[in-house]
Structure 1
Amino acid sequence: MGVFNFTPSGPSTFILTGIPGLEAAHVWISIPYCAIYIIGLLGNFTILFIVGKEQTLHKPMFMLLCMLALTDISTSTSVAVKALCIFWFNLKGITVVGCLTQMFFLHTGSMMHSAVLVIMAFDRYVAICNPLRYSTILNNARIAKLGLVGLLTATVFILPLPLLLSRQTFCANIIIPHTYCDHMAVAKMSCGDITVNRIYGLVMAFVVIGLDLSLIALSYGLIIRDVLKISSKKAHQKSFSTCTAHICVILMSYPSFFFSTLTYRFGQGIAPYVHIILANLYLLLPPMFDPIIYGVKTKELREKVSKYTCKVCSSEASV
């Protein structure tokens, strides 16, 4: 991430306060926080394990599920570990370089998550509108290439955020009222002009996420157009049912992202702890619900989970 050049008077560490105004309740807050994080880890690692073990699941759709699981794990872990250290052990200090590194991986993971949802929308379009050419248009190698493009794009767009902050001068105020190093939370600690940081962060978020949403909307617009040409209602239901899980994940991810981003920048009348709680929920809830949604809605995955669950239960019974 380059060399971070701070002024000699600049701080070497920041202090993350956790959830301002609710410090006395940190231990109690950590219980649901930790539970959500662990459930998310178990669900996503289960998907990775089952898809890796089952040769029949080595298909583009399940490769995309693995990509989604990896982004969920990396995003939630990048914030949850430090937050739990604050809640349980009062370890609030974080080096400046560590803070900027956390910021980079956090926002890169979030943008990669959005890119995977776009690829999934394209996958659903091909599966419904061009089923006979599905294996020709989409294969595991092509999915891997699309995923790599998404990762490189996210890296290129996010890297300027910590690099711009590394050139700022941070004064005596080193207390960040947050559980993790969010871009704007750190930028507000600067003594210098952060106009460029504000504009770039906002434009990057809305342009990139807006483009992703436009591509998803285009995919579903084409799906609806082609499905409505079919006269059979049963075919309509079958076509739309294949998109249910993806639509649920989209509705969980994007509204919470925009709400969290807008309230943090423009919601001056909202209590600080509300900002922080919303920001944490935006990063923790999708990783918990994504594997549950796909596990329930995807028949092949559901059957494989049941298979391994039965194996574990039978082995425990024999012991």
Structure 2
Amino acid sequence: MSDSNTTDFTNPSTFILLGIPGLEAAHVWISIPFCTMYVIAILGNFTILFIVKMERSLHEPMYYFLCMLAVTDLVLSTSILPKTLSIFWFNSREIDFGACLTQMYFLHCFLVMESGIFVAMAFDRYVAICDPLRHSTILTNPLVAKIGLAVALRGGMLVLPLILAARRWPYCRTNIIPHSYCEHMAVVKLACAEIYVSNYYSISVVFCVFGLDMIFIAVSYTQILKAIFSLPTKDARLKTSGTCSSHICAILAFYIPCLFSALMYRFGKNMALHFHVLIASVYLLVPPMLNPIIYGVRTKQIRNRLLWLFTHKGTESFLLVV
């Protein structure tokens, strides 16, 4: 490693990303599942967007929120994986200081946005099940657009102070980041200053945003469960609960690894560094990969439309050949 990586400096022009420290020899092998998850996420989320756009019967609040989730997942996975794969495949470890801060902003902004979208989807399910007759009058298209805008503004405004603080810290120890992407705590830990402001603010965002969002979701589903159990027949209860199962699976796939990674970074001092980095990378790739699969399999309208597209195209191709 060159001396420039350890020489004193206050404004580094570039950072050096190590990938997964301690597992450099396995980078190519690790890239295979990472790349597979990314390809599935790209294809799956674009398929969701295409189906909802083409099928007019899916132009409803639930599917608009699903499209917001798909766009968020696309940005989230794309913000980290191309650079990670360039490290794994080409040993391209340098990243411009500004590009690092940009990656950090998009990463954390869209994490907060995804959490907000799950709250909006829980609200949609609450209205649809607890007050179905007023669903179309409450969740109108203008209100859905306002909710989407509020979710985006919340993510952008809450994350911006983290980036501004990270930009002003003096980095005079090293510019080597022991990570595969510019994660906030991995970067600010390199600062030769007291970073209590960044540390406390970031953990406040984690607990206030994700904690409050999970409380809102839990309250919504408590009311939903009460409404479901008050239904007269078992078939009605099963059918109604089935409309929420995909949303619950997606929530668990997002919040559990997200909170685990955030807490592990701050309190898991004795865990191996490569385990930290692996978990932090996987939790950003698994939800974008799983969400279109979950909704594609569990949502009847999307599943039927997808099957129709394949069978219709297959029939057309057969007739052309004949």
Structure 1 and Structure 2 fold alike (TM over 0.5): yes
1:293 is aligned to: 294
1:28 is aligned to: 29
Classify 1:53/1:231 alpha carbon distance in 2 versus 1 (closer, same or farther; 3 Å): closer
Alignment of 1:90-239 (within 5 A): 90-239=91-240
Give, as a single letter, the amino acid of the residue that structure 1 aligns with 2:307.
S
1:161-208 superposed Cα distances (whole Å, 9 cap, x missing partner): 110011100114110011110000001110111111100000111111
User: Where do 5+ consecutive residues of structure 1 fail to align?
Assistant: 1-6
Classify 1:271/1:307 alpha carbon distance in 2 versus 1 (closer, same or farther; 3 Å): same
What is the CA-CA distance between 1:9 and the residue it aligns to? Answer: 3.8
What RMSD over aligned residues (CA atoms) do the two structures have, in Å? 1.3
- Name the TM-score, length of structure 1 as normaliser: 0.95
Alignment check: 8 A CA contact 1:43 1:292 kept:
yes
State whether structure 2 residue 70 is matched by structure 1 residue 83. Answer: no
Alignment of 1:34-45 (within 5 A): 34-45=35-46
Alignment check: 8 A CA contact 1:125 1:219 kept:
yes
What is the CA-CA distance between 1:223 and the residue it aligns to? Answer: 1.0
Give, as a single letter, the amino acid of the residue that structure 2 aligns with 1:10.
N
Deviating 4+ runs (over 4 angstroms): none
1:90-144 superposed Cα distances (whole Å, 9 cap, x missing partner): 1100011110110000001111100000000000011111111111011222111
User: What is the DSSP-based 3-state SS (H/G/I as helix, E as strand, rest coil) of the residue aligned with 2:79?
Assistant: helix
Count residues with an aligned counterpart: 313
1:271 is aligned to: 272
What is the CA-CA distance between 1:312 and the residue it aligns to? Answer: 3.5
What is the CA-CA distance between 1:265 and the residue it aligns to? Answer: 1.2
Give, as a single letter, the amino acid of the residue that structure 2 aligns with 1:303.
N
Alignment check: 8 A CA contact 2:9 2:173 kept:
no
- Name the TM-score, length of structure 2 as normaliser: 0.94
For structure 1, which segment, 269-278 or 309-318, has the greater mean C-alpha deviation from structure 2 after superposition?
Answer: 309-318
1:4 is aligned to: none
User: What is the DSSP-based 3-state SS (H/G/I as helix, E as strand, rest coil) of the residue aligned with 1:242?
Assistant: helix
Alignment check: 8 A CA contact 1:63 1:140 kept:
no
Give, as a single letter, the amino acid of the residue that structure 2 aligns with 1:37.
Y
Alignment check: 8 A CA contact 1:108 1:155 kept:
yes
Classify 1:247/1:10 alpha carbon distance in 2 versus 1 (closer, same or farther; 3 Å): same
Following the alignment from structure 1 to structure 2, what is the Cα–Cα distance between the partners of residues 135 and 190? 52
Following the alignment from structure 2 to structure 1, what is the Cα–Cα distance between the partners of residues 118 and 10? 44
2:69 is aligned to: 68
Following the alignment from structure 2 to structure 1, what is the Cα–Cα distance between the partners of residues 10 and 284? 34
What is the CA-CA distance between 1:8 and the residue it aligns to? Answer: 6.9
Alignment check: 8 A CA contact 2:173 2:192 kept:
no
Following the alignment from structure 1 to structure 2, what is the Cα–Cα distance between the partners of residues 315 and 288? 30
Identity among equivalent positions (%) equals: 51
What is the CA-CA distance between 1:18 and the residue it aligns to? Answer: 0.2
User: What is the DSSP-based 3-state SS (H/G/I as helix, E as strand, rest coil) of the residue aligned with 2:190?
Assistant: coil
User: What is the DSSP-based 3-state SS (H/G/I as helix, E as strand, rest coil) of the residue aligned with 1:14?
Assistant: strand
Give, as a single letter, the amino acid of the residue that structure 2 aligns with 1:138.
L
Following the alignment from structure 1 to structure 2, what is the Cα–Cα distance between the partners of residues 213 and 236? 24
Following the alignment from structure 1 to structure 2, what is the Cα–Cα distance between the partners of residues 141 and 301? 24
What is the CA-CA distance between 1:268 and the residue it aligns to? Answer: 1.0
1:3 is aligned to: none
